[in-house]
Amino acid sequence: MAGRSKKKGTSGAARNYITRTRAVKKLQISLPDFRRLCIFKGIYPREPRNKKKVSKGSTAATTFYYTKDIQYLLHEPLLAKFREHKSVAKKIGRALGRGEAGDAARLEKNLMPKVKLDHIIKERYPTFVDALRDLDDALSMLFLFANLPSSEHIPAKTIALCQRLTREFEHYVITSHSLRKSFLSIKGIYYQATIQGQDILWLVPYRFVQRSGGDIDFRIMGTFVEFYTTLLGFVNYRLYTSVGLVYPPKFSAKSDEQGGELAAFQLEGKGTATNSASNAHDENAEIDPEAQAIADRIAAMPDVEEEEETMDLVLATEDDEEEATEGIDKFEPTAPDADILPQPQASSAEVASLFAPHTFYLSRETPRASLEFILKAFGCKRVGWDGILGDGAFTTNESDPAITHQIVDRPALSNGAPAPDVPETTNGGAAAPKIQWPHSTMPGRTYVQPQWVWDCINQGKLLRPDLYSPGADLPPHLSPWVKPKKGEYDPNLPLEAQQPDGEAEAFEDDGDEEDATFDVDGDEDMDAINDREDSVEAGEGMHVGDSEDEDSDDSESDAGPAAEELDGFESDAESDISEGEAARLQHQRELEAEATGKKLEVANPSRKEQNAAIRKKFDKKKRLEEEERDRQKMMLSNKKRKLLKRIEYGENKRDTESENLRRKRAKLEKAKAAAEAL
């Protein structure tokens, strides 16, 4: 008995997906509200495996969603807020149409519903760790909007809110010493912090003049900002209370107007907090007793100098065995070709006190906001800068004797002093006397470029400041998240340690050949080359002959490449014989010299001959390895041989890129050595 036939489009993939048009009609809201609701709830379009089955044979471009997701949105409380907002907007439009501006303002103030996303945050992030894992995009977006200028699309209130939330988060990172790495890239500055075991990476743009294009949909971005500000507010509150701090911290509007930024916020502990309306959230919060004990212990920690004295006393009383157990082991490779094992990172106490003993002064040309954040996150409590950069500096006096390091980003003169500023002209056109910067170099102070700070925190130690002195050629600034693999080019290693056998000699010969190719004697050679090119263009030597002589010439020309190949084999054989004959003759000369008692004169080979011998030996070794590899390939199956071919393609591409980089570096080092010789 045959079963009942099912109607097409009522089961399977056609039932699991729904088009956006049908979803909007089912929810009875407008398309902008639907987009906004999907962003809040984390519902995104889906791509079916077979669009023709889902769309009942249609091939038109259509956006699909999961039917269960749209069914889930039917019970969302925000739908009622959207419909209420729509009805109030109609009343306001009617009032404005009648010219009743006062009634319209009253309706907007009293009846316009306020959308709260608290319940959505709790739904999407059941645990606090889930919120931390999803914090990367939120921080990048909010730091971007915090640096944008206000416009008709971006209100100043939104920018101020993003600035407040991001600076509160930076204060927590500074207090908890959670920052681990940072990198200066073309897009901006990357930061990575480890908070409660979760690595959080975000991007902060440089403070240039931002010009937003007209092809950006700020409504979509504004919806994300609205969600992310609510999320970061919850996260900041939880982070502050976990270390025993009052949230929100005290904010000084006067200091913020004067460019204080981080200095505009004053952190307070729970013990010193006053019961005010601004701290209403903290009064009802549940504090973890273990976290509060840790916060009290951190608050009771002595200053840096007292801490160093106590640490000296503790270390003096410990035994040698206990001191040995506190050190961090280093994993050394057992063989020269072995893999490099990841080394253990420094402890949190060492990271927190990297810049603690020093006092920094930031020159006017340096990025003050990023440097202040990084220095304070790694233990520095005294950071000063010029008063023109804003409020909140430890000192604005550049000649303060307490300053140990000054960060500058200006070129230096040939005698080692920093370069002077551009001379100013008076009204009469005459040049005013040049003002050198700084007026005098302070003795005992270390002058470094800003990259020194980033490289120090990425490597977890204070690097040599002379490599980063003003005007010096800086070491390569590499990403701390990308580790060089075996066989790839590594800018940190010397060139000799990365070159395989025979490559250095090949680079030297290439340089000699390039010099020889550019050595053209006079204009006559160039004219001859041009004449030869013109003759080829005219078709010279392209005629086909009919005589026997021409046929014989053509046959000889056709046999040319084969003859050349045979000549090549003969030359190799002759070279082998000549080498054996040369060794025999050399031995004969040694015997004759020993018999007659004369001293044998040995001719020293030239540098070019030595390079040719080394390169020939390397090529022979490489050829033997390739032949052995080809023999091993013959034993593989067709499938494995194709897989090996793809692997070799990637390796050859990597090796070619590495060789090109090494070649460029060899040329630069050669040019630098020649310039220093002059």
Which tens digits make up the pLDDT trace of 584-606?
777 777 777 777 777 666 556 66
Does some domain include residue 533? Answer: no
Contact assessment for residue 422 and residue 377, using Cβ atoms and an 8 Å cutoff: no
Tokens 């003795």 appear where? 443
Contact assessment for residue 379 and residue 177, using Cβ atoms and an 8 Å cutoff: yes
Domain identity same for 455 and 493: no
If one compares 216 and 448, the residue with the highest pLDDT of the two is: 448
Angstrom distance (rounded) from CA 483 to CA 239: 32
Contact assessment for residue 376 and residue 358, using Cβ atoms and an 8 Å cutoff: no
Q: Pull the structure tokens for residue 665.
A: 């570096």
The residues with which 202 forms a beta bridge, in sequence order, are 191
One-letter amino acid at 486 equals K
Angstrom distance (rounded) from CA 529 to CA 543: 22
Domain identity same for 271 and 203: yes
Which pLDDT value is given to residue 54?
A: 81
Choose the final residue of a domain: 79, 110, 141. Answer: 110
Angstrom distance (rounded) from CA 221 to CA 230: 14
Write out the H or E segment, with its range, that includes residue 383: strand 383-385
Contact assessment for residue 295 and residue 245, using Cβ atoms and an 8 Å cutoff: yes
| pLDDT above 70: residue 473 | yes
Instruction: Give the mean model confidence (pLDDT) for residues 2-16.
Output: 71
Confidence at 35, pLDDT banded by 50, 70, 90: very high
Which pLDDT value is given to residue 656?
A: 81
Does some domain include residue 580? Answer: no
| pLDDT above 50: residue 36 | yes
Domain identity same for 105 and 124: no
Does some domain include residue 637? Answer: yes
Tokens 């209403």 appear where? 280
Which pLDDT value is given to residue 606?
A: 65
Domain identity same for 207 and 148: yes
Q: Pull the structure tokens for residue 485.
A: 């693999």
Instruction: Tell me the pLDDT tens digit for each residue of 323-349.
Output: 334 445 565 666 665 555 555 555 567
Does some domain include residue 377? Answer: yes
Q: Which domain holds residue 102?
A: 13-110
Which pLDDT value is given to residue 189?
A: 95
Confidence at 675, pLDDT banded by 50, 70, 90: confident
Which pLDDT value is given to residue 569?
A: 42
Instruction: Tell me the pLDDT tens digit for each residue of 219-233.
Output: 899 999 999 999 999
Identify the weakest region by mean pLDDT among 30-44, 266-280, 507-521: 507-521
Which pLDDT value is given to residue 215?
A: 77
Angstrom distance (rounded) from CA 293 to CA 278: 24
If one compares 67 and 566, the residue with the highest pLDDT of the two is: 67
Does some domain include residue 426? Answer: no
If one compares 666 and 176, the residue with the highest pLDDT of the two is: 176
Mention every residue, 6+ apart, whose C-beta is less than 8 A from residue 226. Answer: 117
Which pLDDT value is given to residue 299?
A: 44
If one compares 566 and 639, the residue with the highest pLDDT of the two is: 639
Which pLDDT value is given to residue 628?
A: 84
| pLDDT above 50: residue 317 | no
Which pLDDT value is given to residue 378?
A: 93
Write out the H or E segment, with its range, that includes residue 407: strand 405-407
Highest mean pLDDT among 183-197, 278-292, 404-418: 183-197
Tokens 């199956």 appear where? 637
Instruction: Give the mean model confidence (pLDDT) for residues 352-366.
Output: 90
Domain identity same for 182 and 265: yes
Angstrom distance (rounded) from CA 375 to CA 518: 52
Contact assessment for residue 275 and residue 283, using Cβ atoms and an 8 Å cutoff: yes
Return the percentage of the chain with pLDDT > 70, whole number: 67
Domain identity same for 256 and 237: yes
Q: Pull the structure tokens for residue 94.
A: 């009617």
Identify the weakest region by mean pLDDT among 122-126, 431-435, 454-458: 431-435
Distance of CA 172 to the CA centre of its chain: 23
Choose the final residue of a domain: 110, 137, 160. Answer: 110
Tokens 């009343």 appear where? 91
Domain identity same for 204 and 295: yes
If one compares 311 and 130, the residue with the highest pLDDT of the two is: 130
Q: Pull the structure tokens for residue 380.
A: 């520095």
SS3 category, 447:
strand
Domain identity same for 182 and 280: yes
Instruction: Give the mean model confidence (pLDDT) for residues 295-307.
Output: 45
Q: Pull the structure tokens for residue 447.
A: 């002058």
Round the CA-based radius of gyration of the chain to a whole number and report it: 37
Choose the final residue of a domain: 284, 299, 314. Answer: 299
Domain identity same for 122 and 76: no
If one compares 500 and 121, the residue with the highest pLDDT of the two is: 121
DSSP 8-state code for residue 283: H
For the chain, the maximum distance between any two Cα atoms, rounded to a whole number of angstroms, is 129
Angstrom distance (rounded) from CA 646 to CA 666: 30
Instruction: Give the mean model confidence (pLDDT) for residues 506-517.
Output: 54
Confidence at 620, pLDDT banded by 50, 70, 90: confident
**336 CB-contact burial (10 Å; exposed 0-12 / middle 13-18 / buried 19+):** exposed
Does some domain include residue 424? Answer: no
| pLDDT above 50: residue 533 | no
∠ CA 616-622-623, nearest 5°, is: 90
Q: Tally DSSP H helices, then E strands, for the chain.
A: 26, 11
What average pLDDT does the chain have? Answer: 75
Which pLDDT value is given to residue 240?
A: 94
Identify the weakest region by mean pLDDT among 34-48, 65-79, 428-442, 488-502: 428-442
The domain tally of the chain equals 4
Contact assessment for residue 124 and residue 42, using Cβ atoms and an 8 Å cutoff: yes
| pLDDT above 80: residue 418 | no
Domain identity same for 218 and 240: yes
SS3 category, 14:
helix
Confidence at 489, pLDDT banded by 50, 70, 90: confident
Which pLDDT value is given to residue 506?
A: 60
| pLDDT above 80: residue 10 | no
Angstrom distance (rounded) from CA 470 to CA 575: 57
Confidence at 293, pLDDT banded by 50, 70, 90: low
Domain identity same for 27 and 138: no
Identify the weakest region by mean pLDDT among 149-163, 476-490, 519-533, 572-586: 519-533
Which pLDDT value is given to residue 192?
A: 95
Which pLDDT value is given to residue 493?
A: 72
Tokens 């490289």 appear where? 455
Distance of CA 222 to the CA centre of its chain: 26
Instruction: Tell me the pLDDT tens digit for each residue of 237-290.
Output: 999 999 999 999 999 989 988 888 899 999 988 764 433 333 333 333 344 555
Domain identity same for 168 and 265: yes
Angstrom distance (rounded) from CA 405 to CA 447: 6
Which pLDDT value is given to residue 318?
A: 43
Mention every residue, 6+ apart, whose C-beta is less than 8 A from residue 399. Answer: 442
CB under 8 Å, gap of 24 or more: what pairs does 26-31 form?
26/70, 26/74, 27/70, 27/73, 27/74, 27/79, 28/83, 29/79, 29/82, 29/83, 30/86
The residues with which 294 forms a beta bridge, in sequence order, are none
∠ CA 402-408-411, nearest 5°, is: 140
Which pLDDT value is given to residue 427?
A: 46
Which pLDDT value is given to residue 340?
A: 59
If one compares 198 and 327, the residue with the highest pLDDT of the two is: 198
Return the percentage of the chain with pLDDT > 90, whole number: 30
Does some domain include residue 336? Answer: no
Confidence at 297, pLDDT banded by 50, 70, 90: low
Burial 115-145 (b: 16+ CB within 10 A, else e): eebeebbeebbeebeebbebbbebbbbbbbb
Contact assessment for residue 542 and residue 534, using Cβ atoms and an 8 Å cutoff: no
Mention every residue, 6+ apart, whose C-beta is less than 8 A from residue 316. Answer: none
Instruction: Give the mean model confidence (pLDDT) for residues 8-32.
Output: 85
If one compares 293 and 119, the residue with the highest pLDDT of the two is: 119
Does some domain include residue 283? Answer: yes
DSSP 8-state code for residue 269: B
Residue-wise DSSP of 315-378: HHHS-HHHHHHHSPP----SSTTSPPPPPPPPPHHHHHTSSTT--EEE-TTS-HHHHHHHHHHT
Instruction: Give the mean model confidence (pLDDT) for residues 124-135.
Output: 94
Which pLDDT value is given to residue 575?
A: 46
Angstrom distance (rounded) from CA 199 to CA 173: 12
One-letter amino acid at 569 equals F
Instruction: Tell me the pLDDT tens digit for each residue of 76-126.
Output: 999 999 888 889 999 999 999 998 888 888 888 888 888 889 999 999 999
If one compares 99 and 492, the residue with the highest pLDDT of the two is: 99
Contact assessment for residue 403 and residue 384, using Cβ atoms and an 8 Å cutoff: yes
Which pLDDT value is given to residue 678?
A: 74
